[in-house]
Structure 1
Amino acid sequence: MKNLDGIVEFCSVASVGNFTGAANRLDTSVAQVSRKVATLEKRLGVKLLHRTTRNVSLTEAGKLYFEQTNPALSVLENAQLSVSALQQSPQGLIKLTAPVAFGEAFIAPLLNRFLETYSGISIQCAFSNDTLDIVEQGLDLAIRIGKLEDSSLIAKKLATRQLYVCGSREYLQNNSIPTSLEDLKQHSLLVGSQPYWRFLINNDVQTVSVSGRVRYNSGNALKAAAINGLGLTQLPGFYVRDSIAQGQLVEVLPDYKDKQEAIWAVFPSNRNVAPKIRLLVDFLSENLTDDR
C-alpha cells in the first residue's frame, strides 16, 4: 500500500469514538482529522463512519477496515518505539494530568527535576481534580489517588498515602479529645468536597457521613481552618504531616486510621507506552515516598 494517509486518523476516531478525542490524541485539529478521514473514504470508495451531531459509529465496512488496519498500525508503532529506545537521550512531549494540591506539591517539583535530567523532553501537565478522560484528552498518563474505577486503563502503583483526623491543640483543650467515632457528633467538623470520612472499622475501610459549618473543596483551606481552631478535619498526610510534627495540629482517633490509599500512574491500554513515558513513571516511582 503506497498511501497510508488518513488511516491513523480513522483508527483514532474509531478507538476514541469521536473526532474531538481523536484530534486531541493526535495533537491536531478536528477539521484536519475530518478532512483526512473523508479523503480516505473517497480513496477507498466506501463510507467508513456514520456521523451525527452527537456521536460517531462505524459502518460495516468501517468495522472490517478497523479490524484489519489497527493491528497493522500497532506493529508500525512498535517498530518506531523500538528504534526510539535506542536513543541515549529520549525526546518528545509528555502530556499528563494530576490532582491539583498533590500535583503542585509533589508532582511538579519532580517533573522539574526530570526535565533537568532529560533536556530533550518537554512536559505539558493539566492539574485538575476532575477525572479527565485521558484517551479523549490525548494524554499520555494520569496521576490518580485512591480506588480506581473499573476501566480498560492500565495502572502502576507509585506510592501510598494515609488520611489523618486532626485539630489544633487549643480546639481540643476546649472541646475534649474524641476517642470513638460516636464522639465526632459532639465536635465541629471541617468537611471537604465529599460529605463523608473514611475509617478503619473492624479491619474494614468504611465511610462515615459527616457535616459541619465549614465545607471547603480545598485541602489547604481545611488545614488552615483546623489550625485556626475551627474544628476537626480529615486530610491526607501530605497536607498535615508537617503541621502535626510542628505541633500546630494534633492527630486524633489513630486507632481508626484507614488503610493506606495507593497513588497510581494510569495509561491508555490501547496505546503502546513509549520509552520516555516509562522513564517518567519509573522516575516518579523512585522519588515519591509512601505515607503522603
Structure 2
Amino acid sequence: MSRWEGLDEFVAVAECGSFMRAAERLRVSSSHVSRQVARLEERLQARLFYRTTRRVSLTEAGHTFFARCQRLIEERDEAFLAIGDLHSSPTGLLRMTAAVAYGERFIVPVVNRFMAQHPQLQVEIELSNRTLDLVQEGFDLAIRLGRLNESRLVATRIAPRAMYLCAAPSYLERYGRPHTLSELARHNCLIGTGDTWLFQLDGSERPFKPGGNWRCNSGQAVLDAALRGFGLCQLPDYYVREPLQRGELVSLLEANQPPNTAVWAVYPQRRYPLPKVRLLVEALKNELGP
C-alpha cells in the first residue's frame, strides 16, 4: 500500500467540507473517497473528521495532519509540474470561470482559439456573476473585473478597464448635459449590477448613489436603454467604445472619470503555475491587452 494513498482524498474533503464535493473535484465516487479516508484513519490510528448528516469538520488531529498534507501534495504536484513545464504543452482538464457577459463576448472566443491550438486540452467554463471560491470549488482560473479583494489568489492584470459616464444625444437634448458631479442627482440614471458609481474629484475617489426608474443586472441591457435615450449610464469601455465612436453616445464628466480598474486573471497560489493556466493567461493578455 502506498503511503500516499488517501492523502489526496483527505485534503479534498478538508478543503471542500464535504465528501460529495470532494468526490466531484477528484472525479471519483463518494464511496471511494469515504473508503480511502477510512483506511487512512485506520493506518494513522487517529480520527481525522467529525461526521454528521449535515457537515464534515476536522478534528484536532485532522487540523494538524491537514496542514502538513497540503504542503506535501503541493510539493509533489509542483515537482511534476516543474518537469512537465519543460514541454510547455497544456494538457488535462482546465476549469475556469468568468462573468457572463464579458465571458461570452471576450473570454470564450480567446479560449476557443487557444483550444484549437492545443486540442489535447479539455476546458470547462462556468459563466457566472457570482464570485466563486476557486479553491473550494476546484477551479484553476477565474477572470475577474474591477478591484480585487481576495488575497489568497495570484492575480495577473490582463487588460485595462475604464469606466465611462454616457448618455444618448436624444436624452441630453431633452434634459441637458451635466457639467458637475452635483448635477447628477437631477438626472435619471440607468442602474446596473452596482448600487454605487465611482468618480474622481480633486485627486480622490468620490462615490455617487444613482437613482432612476430603470434597473437591470446586465451591462448589455443598460447599454440598450442608454442608446434609447432613457437616461445616464456608467459602463466599462468594452460596452461603450463603439457607440461613442459612432456618436450614438456622448461621454460626460471626463475630468471626473474614475481611475482605471482592470480585467484580472486570478488562480490559486502555486510555486509553479500550471502550464495550461500560464499559457492561457499569456494568450488572454496578448489578445485583450492594450
TM > 0.5 fold call: yes
Report the secondary structure of 1:135's partner residue: helix
The alpha-carbon deviation at position 51 of structure 1 amounts to: 2.1
Q: Which residue of 2 aligns with 1:228?
A: 228
Q: Which residue of 2 aligns with 1:172?
A: 172
1:125-144 → structure 2 map (5 Å cutoff): 125-144=125-144
Q: Which residue of 1 aligns with 2:2?
A: 2
Aligned equivalents of 1:52 and 1:267: distance in 2?
32
Identity %: 41
Q: Which residue of 2 aligns with 1:239?
A: 239
Q: Which amino acid aligns with 2:2?
A: K
Structure 1 unpaired stretches of 5+ = none
Aligned equivalents of 1:200 and 1:32: distance in 2?
56
CA, structure 1 residues 15+107, in 2 after alignment: closer, same or farther (shift >3 Å)?
same
1:189-200 → structure 2 map (5 Å cutoff): 189-200=189-200
Q: Which residue of 1 aligns with 2:28?
A: 28
Range 36-45 or range 274-283, more displaced = 36-45
Q: Which residue of 2 aligns with 1:288?
A: 288
Report the secondary structure of 1:239's partner residue: helix
Q: 2:100, 2:128 within 8 Å by CA — same for their partners in 1?
A: yes
Q: 2:16, 2:137 within 8 Å by CA — same for their partners in 1?
A: no
CA, structure 1 residues 24+142, in 2 after alignment: closer, same or farther (shift >3 Å)?
farther
Range 112-121 or range 46-55, more displaced = 46-55
Q: Does 1:60 align with 2:71?
A: no
The alpha-carbon deviation at position 64 of structure 1 amounts to: 3.4
The alpha-carbon deviation at position 13 of structure 1 amounts to: 2.3
- Number of matched residues? 290
Structure 2 unpaired stretches of 5+ = none
Aligned equivalents of 1:154 and 1:179: distance in 2?
40
The alpha-carbon deviation at position 28 of structure 1 amounts to: 3.5
Per-residue CA distance 1:22-76 (angstroms, 9 max, x = gap): 3343233444322321222133332111223444332233233334433322222
Q: Which residue of 2 aligns with 1:161?
A: 161
Q: Which residue of 1 aligns with 2:122?
A: 122
Computed over aligned residues only, the root mean square deviation of the Cα atoms, in angstroms, reads 2.0
Per-residue CA distance 1:138-174 (angstroms, 9 max, x = gap): 1001111111114312211112111111111111111
Aligned equivalents of 1:166 and 1:29: distance in 2?
52
CA, structure 1 residues 196+89, in 2 after alignment: closer, same or farther (shift >3 Å)?
closer
Report the secondary structure of 1:119's partner residue: coil
Q: 2:15, 2:136 within 8 Å by CA — same for their partners in 1?
A: no
| TM-score, normalization by structure 1 | 0.92
Q: Which residue of 2 aligns with 1:248?
A: 248
